[in-house]
Amino acid sequence: MGVAVVLVAAGNGERLGANRPKALVELGNKAILSHALVAVINYNPNQIIVVGHPQFQSEFEAVINEFPGIEIVLVPGGQSRQQSVAIGVSLVSHDLVLVHDAARCFAPPSLFKDVEAALLDSVCVVPLMPVSDTIKRVMAGVVLETIDRSQLGAAQTPQGFKTKELLFALSNSEIEFTDEAALMQAAEHKVLAIAGDARAYKVTTSDDLNKAASDLNPRRTGIGTDVHEFSNAGELMLGCLIWPELPKLKGHSDGDTIAHAIVDALLSAAGLGDIGSNFGVDQPQYSGASGEQFLLDTLSLLAAKNLYPVNVAVQVVSDKPKIGPRRLELEARLSAIISAPVSVGATTTDGLGFLADARGVAAVATALLRGSD
């Protein structure tokens, strides 16, 4: 029993205020339609039909051409959503059809599979999300009643149907419905509800678009710490600056506590382990390496995962050196290396621990990363 997906993308997107069809609005350098097609293609149906805005067919074709080797049929939509769905469903050549809104571009392939599986026992399947807000019925500004939300659900797509029954209902309806499940219910078909998915939210307003952009490129935080004891020789390197009045910190590399704490924070945010697992003593090329080299190599690891620093904060814990006089210089130097703002603070241990007698330097860093598609 084959299954088709009709991807409805013919809306004007007026509430988004983009002056073009919503499906063609860019989200992370790709059209919303492109993201929706990725999910549909990963679901791997037998047939894919895109119903696009009739005045933008060439733009829709350009998006479809991003997927060479995938057979996707493009047709112009009608004057209403229901008319567009009818046009798409009329081209379906399989027993089952899933009707999906392109605006729900992050609906996962698993939701498509769940809807298809439920169609084995039903003519119509709709995924629903529970309603968490208290719902009031209002007329003329007056609350008439509070609705029992335990009996409510917010409808999503894809919605699944036996193709023959849906096509018949579409052909004989004289009323415009907001979704096909309502149409089928009006035609006296039993509508089966299954659990929806929070990822299948609809991009309708600019706030929705901002949320989608954030979901596409999520921000991630990490924390890192480092401690080194002073040696008896050499020149102190701290925050990628030379401090000639103090000796070098002990370590396999240059012992740059500030740089190492930042490295650990960046790696932590990226889920890439820590400085030891990436640049440990078992790697001779990092013997005596500078903090700057550690930072640059860490940025390369992040870039390979399409992750980039948004900002970094470092707190230095020590009696020596005094950070205040060179704070701005430190921030400028580290910000230039990382290509993101770095703030530096300093404190002491109030006479507690080995740092109190200036035997070493500790640092704690936090980092915020952004993704990029």
pLDDT of residue 258: 96
Q: Under DSSP, is residue 172 helix (H, G, I), strand (E, B) or coil?
A: helix
Residue from 336, 274, 290, 340 nearest 313 by CA: 340
CA 341/CA 364 separation, integer angstroms: 16
Q: For residue 220, what are the β-bridge partners?
A: 369
* 204 and 75, same domain (yes or no): yes
* 270 and 202, same domain (yes or no): no
* 127 and 193, same domain (yes or no): yes
Is 71 exposed, middle or buried (CB count within 10 Å of its CB: 0-12, 13-18, 19+)?
Answer: exposed
Last residue of a domain, one of 216, 245, 261: 216
CATH code of residue 86: 3.90.550.10
Q: How many CB atoms neighbour CB 361 within 10 A?
A: 28
* 346 and 203, same domain (yes or no): no
Instruction: Encode pLDDT of 136-184 as tens digits.
Output: 999 999 999 998 888 899 999 999 999 999 999 999 988 899 899 999 9
For residue 83, what is the DSSP state?
H
* 212 and 239, same domain (yes or no): no
Tell me: pLDDT of 373 over 70. Answer: no
* 119 and 148, same domain (yes or no): yes
CATH code of residue 237: 3.30.1330.50
Residue 52's pLDDT band, with cuts at 50, 70 and 90, is very high
Instruction: Encode pLDDT of 125-136 as tens digits.
Output: 999 999 989 999
Q: φ and ψ at 121, to 5 degrees? A: -115, 15
pLDDT of residue 252: 79
Domain that holds residue 130: 3-216
* 225 and 207, same domain (yes or no): no
Last residue of a domain, one of 171, 192, 216: 216
Instruction: Encode pLDDT of 270-296 as tens digits.
Output: 999 988 888 877 777 777 788 899 999
Last residue of a domain, one of 216, 248, 268: 216
* 161 and 231, same domain (yes or no): no
pLDDT of residue 254: 86
Q: What percent of the chain has pLDDT over 90?
A: 69
* 195 and 59, same domain (yes or no): yes
Q: Number of folded domains in the chain? A: 2
* 17 and 80, same domain (yes or no): yes
Residue 194, H or E segment: strand 191-195
Tallying the residues shown for the chain, one arrives at 373
* 212 and 226, same domain (yes or no): no
* 92 and 184, same domain (yes or no): yes
273 token code pair: 């382990």
Instruction: Encode pLDDT of 101-134 as tens digits.
Output: 999 999 999 999 999 999 988 999 999 999 989 9
Is 339 exposed, middle or buried (CB count within 10 Å of its CB: 0-12, 13-18, 19+)?
Answer: exposed
Instruction: Encode pLDDT of 249-269 as tens digits.
Output: 988 788 899 999 999 999 999
User: Are the C-beta atoms of residues 307 and 368 closer than 8 Å to each other?
Assistant: no
CA 2/CA 40 separation, integer angstroms: 15
pLDDT of residue 349: 79
CA dist 340 → 216, 311, 331, 335 (Å): 21, 5, 10, 5
Residue in the block written with tokens 């003593």: 281
